[in-house]
Structure 1
Amino acid sequence: MNTKVLIVLALIIAGIAGWFFQQQGKIEPPINIEASEVDYEATDIKAVQTNEQGETEYELNAESLTHNPQTNEDVMSGITMNWQPSDEQRYIIQSGTATINQASGDLHLYGGFSLLSEDKVSSDIEPIKVTGAALKGNTKSRQVYSDEPVKVEQGLNRFEAASMKANLETGEYEFGQVAVSFTPAERQDKALF
């Protein structure tokens, strides 16, 4: 073969490759790389928070945790929190998803929650269980509230309320627009003498 033919053939192949690259090399739309809103992530979380005296205030277990540095919030999923804000009260809180701001103590549980209150002093008092869709509160002030309907159970007693406020340190609850179903015992006529 002639060298001139090989050079012309190589130039034609290079031209076709260049044209193909120009047609196929464009990315529509262009990739836009932005800074992430997450600075760290973790799974299978087990954390302990202590108070100023070094006593355990709450223990937290979560399936996953993501920290957002812009809002300084931790977003957790699958949480179980064992909270002991005082010597008299203990709470077990479970939720599908929660956000907590470590600096301010603001807490928001959503995706369903369960709040179980146990009296550590007297075992005669039945635990109170409150369930609902969302719960907000503050770990520093030890106050929680829900503006959405909640269901409350204590032993055989059950009722629903449109809202709830609670002071977890003292164990005091306040419910708004309570709806109760009352079924009295069957009447039995008996002689008194």
Structure 2
Amino acid sequence: MNTRVLIILALIIAALAGWFFTKQGDIEPPVSIAPTDVDYEATDIQAVQTNEQGETEYELNAESLTHNPVTNQDEMSGVTMNWEPSDEQRYRIQAGTATINQQTGELQLSGGFTLISEDKADSNIAPIQVSGQILKGNTKSRQVYSDKPVKVVQGMNSFDASSMKANLETGEYEFGQVAVSFMPPERQDQALF
């Protein structure tokens, strides 16, 4: 082979390699290293909150937790909370995500929630289960509410409501625009005599 052809071929290969290198050398999008709003992060959380008398108020389990110092809120995912705000009531709350402010007690559950209420004094009463998309409340005032639709189930009974308010200390609920489906048993004709 002619040396001139080999030199031209080598220059073409070098030009292609240079072009390829310059195109592959760019990082898109450029990496920016900036401070985050996260103060600390943790996974597999198990926490206990006590009241002023040192009694357990609630137990909390979460898959992950991040603390945002700007908003002073703990942001959690995969949340399960066992809450006993009084001697009569016990609650189990599950949610996809939750934010809580430890100083004010403000709480917001989102990504779907389930609130199960049990009467500690009478185990014969079926638990009340409330489920919906968003639940807000305050752990200090022991009040929760949802201005989004909720579904309520207790034993064989169920209904839908457009909103809900609850005092978890007393176990009192208030529902807005309740929709109930009533299915009476089938009629069975029997002779009286």
TM-score range, shorter chain: 0.7 to 0.9
Structure-2 separation of matches of 1:188 and 1:27: 77
Q: 1:192 to 1:60 in 2, by over 3 A?
A: same
Structure-1 separation of matches of 2:190 and 2:30: 88
Structure-2 separation of matches of 1:26 and 1:127: 60
Structure-1 separation of matches of 2:145 and 2:130: 11
After superposition, the C-alpha distances for 1:84-110 in whole angstroms (9 at most, x for unaligned) are: 000000000000000000010000000
Structure-2 separation of matches of 1:100 and 1:173: 22
Cross-structure match for 1:163? 163
Structure-2 separation of matches of 1:52 and 1:176: 34
Q: 1:150 to 1:26 in 2, by over 3 A?
A: closer
Q: Which runs of 5+ in 1 are unaligned?
A: 1-22
Residue identity in the other structure for 1:89: Q
Instruction: For residue 63 of structure 1, give the secondary structure of its aligned residue in structure 2.
Output: strand
Q: 1:187 to 1:57 in 2, by over 3 A?
A: same
Q: How many residues matched?
A: 171
Following superposition, the deviation at residue 179 of structure 1 comes to 0.4
Identity of aligned residues (%): 76
Cross-structure match for 1:154? 154
Q: How do 1:1-193 and structure 2 match up within 5 A?
A: 33-193=33-193
TM-score after normalising by structure 2: 0.83
Structure-2 separation of matches of 1:52 and 1:93: 23
Residue identity in the other structure for 2:190: K
Q: Which runs of 5+ in 2 are unaligned?
A: 1-21
Structure-2 separation of matches of 1:31 and 1:114: 40
Instruction: For residue 170 of structure 1, give the secondary structure of its aligned residue in structure 2.
Output: coil
Structure-2 separation of matches of 1:27 and 1:128: 55
